[in-house]
Structure 1
Amino acid sequence: MAIALILGSSAMLAAQAPRPPGSTRTDLQRHDLSIPGWETIQARVDFAPGANFPAHRHPGEEIIYVLEGILEYQLEGQPPKTLMAGDVLYVPARVIHSARNVGTTQGSELATYVVEKGKPLTEFAE
């Protein structure tokens, strides 16, 4: 699948590219791992009611913990998964996925990325 846009360079954590309307990401921490060339990034992602984050992938794993609301995730090749506060989801490296708030209140997740250092954090798919 062709990549339409590359955003979120790990070299530019503070200068994040614009996000789709209705979603915000607040970076909480970033650390090099003991494995050379790898790092972890932890962020809070908030979704307004009805907001979605389009199909994208990461250069490593994403571990999601839903903090509030009702969020639906679509991972390539799998049926949609609807999660609520306290639910978790593992997204394997480079798997195309999307997320949307299917509830009537704000939805929020704690996203932990274990990714290759120096690669763009997010690649949007066509």
Structure 2
Amino acid sequence: MAILSFIAFTISNNASAQKSGITRTDLQKHDISVVGHETVQARIDFEPHTAFGKHSHPGEEVIYVLEGSLEYQVEDKTPIILKAGEVLFIPAGQIHSAKNHTNSKASELATYIVEKGKPILVLAK
């Protein structure tokens, strides 16, 4: 059942993201030694001047910027701009967003350590 909900999320997420200039490519998904948790890894590509709105995850997210630069807003903290080779850790449940304000493509490698059976992404209201 968890795999089906993950697949459904992936399909709907990719469909809506591609319309907005953001493409998500799922790379791997594995159970980990922490009972009830798994790791999911994905590449997220942002076309110039695109943004992914406020959302959270049922676990931690570790971001590595592969190319370009991206601005991240985590909760009410000051936005941070990361360039290729820089990293960011987002604690479980914290609402955040990402934007590419540049004229070039930007990409990140996102690794999620999340609770199994929950949607990997929850849009903020």
Q: Compute the TM-score of the two structures, normalised by the length of structure 1.
A: 0.89
The aligned amino acid for 1:28 is L
- Deviation of 1:64 (Å): 0.1
Q: Distance in 2 between matches of 1:107 and 1:10?
A: 29
Q: Which runs of 5+ in 2 are unaligned?
A: none
Q: Deviations over 1:35-56 (max 9, x none)?
A: 1110000000000000100000
Note the aligned Cα RMSD (angstroms). 1.3
What's the secondary structure of 1:34's corresponding residue?
coil
More strand per residue: 1
Aligned residue pairs total: 118
- Deviation of 1:10 (Å): 5.4
1:7-86 equivalences under 5 Å are 11-15=4-8, 16=10, 17=12, 18-20=15-17, 21-86=20-85
Instruction: State the partner residue of 2:112.
Output: 113
Q: Which has the higher contact order (CA 8 A, sep 6+)?
A: 1
Q: Which runs of 5+ in 1 are unaligned?
A: 1-8
Q: Distance in 2 between matches of 1:10 and 1:62?
A: 19
- Deviation of 1:77 (Å): 1.9
What's the secondary structure of 2:23's corresponding residue?
strand
More helix per residue: 2
Report if the CA contact (8 A) 2:6-2:119 is conserved.
no
